[in-house]
Structure 1
């Protein structure tokens, strides 16, 4: 990576709301962390141009018309009255439930998750950021539709902690 590309990437990260990003290619390891006293969202970014770097295949572009047989569905399950925790989007971008259209979702309602487990991907400016669970528990609700835009701090999942 050229110095100007690294500066552009750091500028993007500072504007995205991320507190920490790790990028690793064959030629470069980059770790950017800011505001250490703030809540940190763990994200792994993959830069697409590197030929030897494994790249998460992007799902179909949301702007292309796609046949839809029914109204969009958001998975929901009833809570049992227990306290829940929300997993929120650390940035603005496009929400994807799986790494490619052919793969199953990372998590679904009723799945047990553990802290640090990847629950979704958010794409922002061709960077695919794996969003990790901050708590162990059970997915109670999926609040965002696959391949749709999400806002900063938007609730993506509701989790019933263990």
Structure 2
């Protein structure tokens, strides 16, 4: 099974509002689930925000930093399916210098190709660019956080 076949299956699951799909073909086993989850996040201010994740999810994917309140954004339901994922493992930086202003914050308007952050991997700085035009709905990781490949970094609406 090729990656294009998997992508077509994911699109079909999404288009037909299926909640799960399982395929076994020879030694290949594929399971796709569409879930919604509500996570209550409490920040340093004591205010609570609800984060709703939906769409085709990576297995056990949850916003990094949800437990310690690093998610920025309005205290409203986050329902965008436009997510920027980490393309590699490394350390995430939200600004070009330690004392600099963050590239983006929740509520900022962004354009496709705009730099959202930097991931340092093996002493190389890799710019993370926006894939969409829109507004930053949430920043899902904190500055200087270690991120994994495929980890959600930003939600754009």
Q: Report the secondary structure of 2:135's partner residue.
A: strand
* Residue from 117, 128, 133 that aligns with 1:136: 133
TM-score by length of 2: 0.54
Equivalent residue, structure 2, for 1:36: none
Cα shift at 1:102? 1.3
Q: CA RMSD in A?
A: 2.4
Counterparts of 1:92 and 1:81, CA distance in 2: 25
Normalising to structure 1: TM-score of the pair? 0.52
Cα separation, 2, equivalents of 1:134 and 1:74: 20
Give the whole-Å Cα distance in 1 for the aligned partners of 2:86 and 2:70: 19
The answer as to whether partners of 1:78 and 1:140 remain within 8 angstroms in 2 is no
- Where do 5+ consecutive residues of structure 1 fail to align? 1-69
Pick closer, same or farther for the CA change 1:112–1:159 going to 2, 3 Å: same
CA distance in 2: counterparts of 1:131 and 1:105, whole angstroms:
13
Partner of 2:63: none
Partner of 2:81: 84
Q: Which has the higher strand share?
A: 2
Runs (4+) off by over 2 Å? 70-74, 76-84
2:122 — aligned with what?
125
Say yes or no: does 1:150 pair with 2:147: yes
Please give the alpha-carbon distance, in whole angstroms, between the structure 2 residues aligned to 1:81 and 1:73: 15
Q: Matched residue of 2:92: which SS? A: strand
